Structure 1
Amino acid sequence: MQGQLKELSETINLPSLGEREVLVANASVADNMGNIVYNSSTSPCHSEGSRGYGNTSGIENEALRHLEGNVQGRLVPKEASTLPSALDCLSEFVSKKLLNRKVILFLDYDGTLSPIVDDPDSAFLPEETKVALLKLTQVGIPVAIVSGRARKKIQNFVNIDTLYYAGSHGFDICGPNGYIVPHQVAGEALPVLGKAAEMIEEQIVNKFPGSSIEDNILSKTLHYRRCPPSVVPELERKLDDILQRFPQLHKTYGKCVFEIRPKINWDKGKAVEWLLSELAMDSPDVVPIYIGDDRTDEDAFRVVVERGVAIIVAEDSRYATFANFRLKDPFEVRNFLVKFWASILDIMEKGNNWDKLADGK
């Protein structure tokens, strides 16, 4: 075991993790998360007065007050700055909550495993993070990547054949045994998605420099990160005009993107529930861990937070989230994965057969 830990430590040059204040806060499910706008005025994708990316501190506070005043007997979303660091709490959490229980790990890709970049096709997985993911699977932890991107694109980025992959916000799922589960109803929306994408290309991408549309097969993503903030409200209005012609589709918000998806009751949270059931890990003795950075990850946080761990990746202190822990950036995510793996090795060294616990054997 010491040899394995030394090997990974040499592969990943970990910096010293400084002391930070830990504020304990509760976060769990609540209704109408869509009312909470999370981007701050310091975001590179902000624009005055436009829903989803403007100076939203007032909107956030109003939404939080609304939820806190109307959701009785239930936990409500909290600002990310009030959440304890997942790095600081990991050792205690592993020793008190994970011992003798099974674990499954879910992660978003962009902004979580890979840093956000201007060119979506250049969002490569850092080698050190890949090593950490591989090590976790080698000690029996099921790992799933849940992304809005096309499944095959994420598979090419990560390139680990022992992982589960849920692409297009969970509409397209595959596993290490080679099975593929595309969402049948979403597949029926492909012609409509194609027509909408053609109009978006013609009326938006060709007229708003810096914008681009990404084909995720069962969804489309309109990127505006490279656009001047002043044009984003008009760009969104154009998109809304187009989508009025396609009642089968709807728009959701991400970081400097608009997602165009089939209007189906399916999201990352549903994908997590499906995987837990499919892998026979939807029982009380299983601790699901979900790490994500985007608004679309909140659906998954709501699924796991009351029985597991939901970790938001965010530097914005006003980010309203259902998560119960926080990491600042993909760099801290990598460090968390390494420390998590090291904690598992420590448990195994003390005589606990973690790999069998993780597999439920």
Structure 2
Amino acid sequence: MAQTPRPTHPLSRQSEGLQNEGIAEAWAFTAEHRQRTTFFFDFDGVLSPVTDDPDASQPVPSVLGVLEKLATVVQRVAIVSARPVSFLRSRFSSLEGVDLYGLYGLEVWHEGEVVTEPAALPWVPAMAELAERAKTELPGDVLVEYKRLSVALHYRTAPQRAGEVERWGHEQAEAKGLRIQAGRMVVELKPPVDQDKGMVITEGVRDAGCAWYFGDDMSDIKAFDALRAREAVDPSFFGVAVAVANPETGAEVSSAADLTLDSPGAVAQFLAEGLERF
């Protein structure tokens, strides 16, 4: 059997017909190289709708079965999220063979074990203290999410607080030597440790022949960039960057992607349809 040719990249979004043709080629290439293919997914906004209460977020019902099937036909499936591994495990405990990267890769669940980046551990007390200060100093309608190795300040239910939250976050980051990660109506403070989604993907595709990344927010653009960087040094590698639409940061994320899907439900459907090609 002749090997499936490498698709022209990036996938064209100039017209529906060209887009569909490019998607078909990408799936054909993926099926041909399934044993060296990895699928990476963000959680919030990709596998789950974004909710006012982060603790209430759940994957869309159809996605669990799709991921389980996907994990049996490709080399690797991984979820790369700003959520802690403990949260991700509570949502995906039924899945076997799916790796979990929490807190932008500061935590990793692989083969039944959690591994935490050693350089981040000394910052746990400082992040706990910061979370308590945020609850005291910021208005009560700002939701403070403590994640052990980061603190997220959500203003989704109080958009008028955006400027106040951003100022407070940047002041704390400067005073304590922390890093800021902006997102969809959230400001997150993290330890000054070199770790982000782009670095996770760079390492994760080192030995891959094909990789897909599904993301919806600013932190996911670094993951898209990692796919591009791998293609630049290895012309035989094929990466597909998929954005999921959102009303806050969607335009910038979509402009960095090869194609855009409408919602987490559309992601599950897209995968299910793609799996029919295997």
Secondary structure of 2:251's counterpart equals: coil
Counterpart code for 1:238: W
Secondary structure of 2:78's counterpart equals: strand
Distance 2:116 2:15 in 1: 36
The root-mean-square deviation of aligned C-alpha atoms, in Å, is: 2.6
Contact persistence 2:41–2:47 (CA under 8 A): yes
Q: 1:100 to 1:106 in 2, by over 3 A?
A: closer
- Asked if 1:110 corresponds to 2:44, the answer is yes
Q: 1:242 to 1:97 in 2, by over 3 A?
A: closer
Distance 2:269 2:96 in 1: 22
Deviation at 1:241, TM superposition (A): 2.6
Q: 1:169 to 1:157 in 2, by over 3 A?
A: same
The structure number with the bigger radius of gyration is: 1
Deviation at 1:88, TM superposition (A): 6.4
Consecutive unaligned residues of structure 2, counting only runs of 5 or more, are 1-7, 232-237
Deviation at 1:238, TM superposition (A): 2.4
1:271 aligned residue: 200
Counterpart code for 1:90: I
- Asked if 1:318 corresponds to 2:260, the answer is no
Q: 1:241 to 1:81 in 2, by over 3 A?
A: farther
| Higher strand proportion | 2
Deviation at 1:83, TM superposition (A): 9.2
Q: 1:92 to 1:302 in 2, by over 3 A?
A: same
Distance 2:85 2:15 in 1: 31
Contact persistence 1:106–1:291 (CA under 8 A): yes
Q: 1:88 to 1:194 in 2, by over 3 A?
A: farther
1:240 aligned residue: 170
Contact persistence 1:254–1:296 (CA under 8 A): yes
Aligned residues: 257
Q: 1:97 to 1:162 in 2, by over 3 A?
A: closer
Deviation at 1:339, TM superposition (A): 1.3
Distance 2:160 2:9 in 1: 36
- Asked if 1:252 corresponds to 2:207, the answer is no
Secondary structure of 2:176's counterpart equals: coil
Secondary structure of 2:189's counterpart equals: strand
Q: Identify which range, 251-260 or 86-95, moves more after superposition.
A: 86-95
Q: 1:246 to 1:88 in 2, by over 3 A?
A: farther
Deviation at 1:174, TM superposition (A): 1.3
Contact persistence 1:86–1:311 (CA under 8 A): no
Deviation at 1:194, TM superposition (A): 1.8
Divergent runs of 4+, >4 A: 24-27, 80-88
2:153 aligned residue: 222
- Asked if 1:92 corresponds to 2:25, the answer is yes
Distance 1:299 1:218 in 2: 20
Distance 2:202 2:274 in 1: 23
Give the fraction of aligned pairs with identical amino acids, expressed as a percent: 27
- Asked if 1:297 corresponds to 2:227, the answer is no
Distance 1:319 1:273 in 2: 21
Deviation at 1:96, TM superposition (A): 4.1
If the length of structure 2 is used for normalisation, what is the TM-score? 0.83
1:127 aligned residue: 61
Q: 1:295 to 1:83 in 2, by over 3 A?
A: farther
